[in-house]
Amino acid sequence: MKFLLTELPYDKTDIHSVINYAKTIEGKTLREVIPADIVEHEYKGKGGLGQKVEEMFFFIENNSDALPDLQELGVEIKTTPLKQIQRGLVSKERLVFSIINYDEEHAFSFSTSTFWKKNNHLLLLFYIHESEKIDIDYIFKIVRLWRFPPADLKIIKDDWTTIVTKIRNGKAHEISEGDTIYLGACTKGANKESLRKQPFSTEMAMQRAFSLKSKYLNFIIEKSLAGEDVSFDINEYLPILSDTLNGSDDPYIPYKKFNLNELEPIVKNINEYSTGETFEQLVTRKFEPFFGKTDEEIIDVFDLDISSAKSKFYLIAKAILGISKKKIEEFEKSDIEMKTIRLENSGVLKESMSFAQIKYKEIVEEEWEESYWNYILTKRFFFVVFQKDENDNFVLRKVQFWTMPLNDLEKARLFWEDTKQKILNDDYENFIKISDNRICHVRPKGADSFDLMETPSGRMEKKKCYWLNASYIKSIVQ
């Protein structure tokens, strides 16, 4: 269905013109505001009311574009039903947005996602659903523009991240509307023909669409019926929409943002320093009384309930430093990375040290000086070393601050260039291995064999990451 006008009844480049025109349907039905000849000759009862509103009232041809309906203004038009209950008008159903493209959405950050680009500014048209009427005779009760208030947007962004993280982890088949708060992922269809492939698993997943939950819509309805506007400075969006690279939680060169409530200093009073003592010496001194003690003995000293915690040794180190909060203030400010190391009784270190996954499409655009690997290896590290005793108990042996020597950094540069070149050559089978006895190597670190990442050539390959060889770490701490 397509209706061509030589001139639209509104200026599609002027938001005030659009909303003033849209308001002409408020309190009326679609039948009342469209030409009679369209109703008589063109209306066949096909398509949803939202499609009819776009085509017959706004004169926008129906399409499946990833861009908003009113592209010039970045405004998406959404039509959604109300129902009458004893206490008044409420949302009849969730507000459904576009189908989630499992093959694409995972590649975006929230601010570049198809959801946000299409739906950041909504023109909402609420109508009263009455089962005895046909849709063009439903009365439109509320017509309004809507932007998500910043506090709501934060939750919606987190909801989007929860949904997309499941896709990235090959668990699109496990997505549930119960996973999220405001923004859901509702099913579209309920049979085997509604199943879709997902990129990081062979498991078929139900087709789903982003949607605003009914209870959130009720908030908008209440505000609208009460005549309350929701106003805020659009600049408040900026800290919420600031994304790390490609939506990753481990960007290559992270921009430090501090949550002051999460930080606690090691040095709580300047008088803690001994005469002439440096910060690193003070930190080392705090550990010295515990050298030779087992992990369980230290746990008893601090009365910690962490014996089975995955990060037990890290939490022990924090307790020794007097840190009860999430992060160590001085380490955060100076970008020192604390790593705990566990040696066998013989002094052998079984596990190499892993770092972030290699971003295949980014490394090929990098130069060494700005690369993630150079950034990591030029940091200051603080190693806390435990070693098994004759009874297989882990004993705190030593601590040390460390930065990679320049001659080793040159070896790391050559390794990095080899990795980059092989990615450029689309060769993912011949990266430097641990058996090559270099100081670092490449190997997988994905959740499973279906944990894949797109390559510059467009293929999907297993995620792999940077590792410092166990033998190299052993040589450092010994």
Residue holding tokens 């399409």? 63
Paired with 76 in beta bridges are 122
Cβ neighbours, 10 Å, residue 184: 26
Second-level CATH architecture of 15-243: 3-Layer(aba) Sandwich (3.40)
Q: Is the pLDDT of residue 101 over 90?
A: yes
Taking the C-alpha atoms of residue 246 and residue 153, their distance in angstroms, rounded to an integer, is 19
Burial of 312 (0-12, 13-18, 19+ CB in 10 A): middle
* Assessment of whether the complete model's pTM goes beyond 0.85: no
CA distance 227 to 137: 25
On the question of pLDDT at 218 being above 80, the answer is yes
Tokens 């005469």 found at: 275
pLDDT at residue number 374 = 86
pLDDT in tens, 283-320: 999 999 999 999 999 999 999 988 776 789 999 999 99
Across the chain, what does the average pLDDT equal? Answer: 86
Q: What is the pLDDT of residue 64?
A: 65
What pLDDT, on a 0 to 100 scale, did the predictor assign at position 246? 38
Q: How far apart are CA 79 and CA 145, in angstroms?
A: 12
> What confidence score (pLDDT) does residue 191 get?
61
State residue 253's pLDDT score.
42
Domain boundaries, the chain: 15-243, 260-477
pLDDT of residue 339: 93
Round to whole Å and give the CA distance between 186 and 212. 9
**How would residue 1 be classed by pLDDT, with cut points 50, 70 and 90?**
very low
- What is the fold of 260-477? ECO RV Endonuclease; Chain A (3.40.600)
In the three-class reduction of DSSP (H, G, I as helix; E, B as strand; rest coil), residue 394 is classed as: strand
Cα 352-357-361 angle, rounded to 5 deg: 145
Tell me: pLDDT of 26 over 70: yes
Residue 42: pLDDT band by 50, 70, 90 thresholds?
Answer: low
**Residues pairing with 208 in the sheet:** 187
Q: DSSP letter at 273?
A: S
The tokens for 178 are 């119960």
3-state secondary structure of 456: coil
Evaluate the CA torsion angle 295, 296, 297, 299 in order and state its sign: positive
Structure tokens at 140: 């439109």
Task: Give dist(CA 470, CA 474) in Å, integer.
Answer: 6
Which amino acid is it at 300? D
CA dihedral 63, 67, 70, 74 (to 10 degrees): 170
In this prediction, residue 446 carries a pLDDT of 63
Scored b (16 or more CB within 10 A) or e, 135-168 reads: bbebbbbbbbbbebebebbbbbbbbbbebbebbb
Q: Could you report the per-residue pLDDT of 232-257, keeping only the tens digit for each?
A: 777 788 878 875 433 344 334 444 44
Are 15-243 and 260-477 in the same CATH fold?
yes
CA distance 203 to 193: 14
Q: Which residues pair with 452 in a beta bridge?
A: 462
Q: Check pLDDT > 70 for residue 178.
A: yes
352 SS3 class: coil
Helix/strand/coil for 221: helix
Mean pLDDT of 132-152: 92
> Does residue 18 register a pLDDT over 60?
yes
Cα(383)–Cα(435) distance, integer angstroms: 24
Sequence length of the chain is: 478
61 with 55: CB under 8 angstroms? yes
Structure tokens at 127: 């109508």
Collapsed DSSP state (helix, strand, coil) of residue 478:
coil
CA distance 82 to 90: 5
Query: What pLDDT is recorded for position 247?
Result: 38
